[in-house]
Amino acid sequence: MSDYQWCHGPKCHTYHTQDRIRGVQGSKVLRTKKISINQYGYPKGVWTHFCSQGCWNDFMHEHWEEFIALYPRTECLETPITDPKKTTHTSESRWGNHSWTTIEFEKIGVDNG
């Protein structure tokens, strides 16, 4: 079984690449790229609908307001963590002493709200 999608990038058909050239002599076009999805489901995820990172970016730039309207974030989310522990580290070398601090904590759970 073989299936395909047309790339959903709004400008896909305008990019100047040899593999987009279609049509007969005297009537050539740059055509939206076709994405073949094989029986193993490859490509997967976003690459089943976009031929490249550029086309995905174009789509997001053109439609982000609609996506945000669909999935608004009206409140912040929080991830509970343990009390952060600050540790100061020092390193001595012939070029001098160097010290830095790290902050360590663990996630207790993830808020999926």
* Residues in contact with Zn ion by the rule CB under 5 A: 7, 9, 12, 33, 51, 55
Query: Whose structure tokens read 């307001």?
Result: 65
CB of 111 to Zn ion, least distance (A): 36
CB of 67 to Zn ion, least distance (A): 19
Specify the residue, 7 or 47, whose C-beta has the smaller distance to Zn ion: 7
Specify the residue, 12 or 96, whose C-beta has the smaller distance to Zn ion: 12
How far apart are alpha carbons 110 and 75 in whole angstroms? 15
* 91 bridge partner residues: 98
Neighbours of 60 (CB within 10 A): 12
Write the DSSP symbol of residue 60: H
Specify the residue, 46 or 110, whose C-beta has the smaller distance to Zn ion: 46
